């Protein structure tokens, strides 16, 4: 996913997507321990997607905190 798609998601959708990507990453890491994956770059992409989503979530939290003040 690119940043524009992630920013377009609502807070609930973003949290659900983050959970799904983390679950997928966990499964791929588990498979990697058993057998070598066909494309190891998928794991790197998923890790970066998780980082992007967490960054956007934290940005939104800080926006809400500054609006309250």
Domain ranges of the chain: 3-68
What does the DSSP 8-state code read for residue 37?
Answer: -
Q: Which residues contact 3 (CB under 8 A, 6 or more apart)?
A: 52, 56
Higher-confidence residue: 36 or 54? Answer: 54
- pTM here is 0.85
Mind listing the pLDDT tens digit for each residue in 5-53? 999 999 999 999 999 999 999 999 988 888 887 888 999 999 999 999 9
The CATH architecture annotation of domain 3-68 reads Orthogonal Bundle (1.10)
Q: Which residues contact 42 (CB under 8 A, 6 or more apart)?
A: 28
């Amino acid at each position: 996913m690119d940043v524009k798609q992630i920013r377009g998601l609502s807070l609930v959708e973003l949290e659900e997507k983050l959970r799904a990507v983390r679950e997928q990453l966990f499964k791929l890491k588990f498979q990697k321990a058993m057998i070598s994956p066909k494309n190891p770059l998928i794991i790197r992409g998923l890790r970066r997607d998780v980082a992007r989503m967490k960054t956007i979530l934290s940005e939104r939290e800080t926006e809400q905190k500054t609006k309250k003040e």
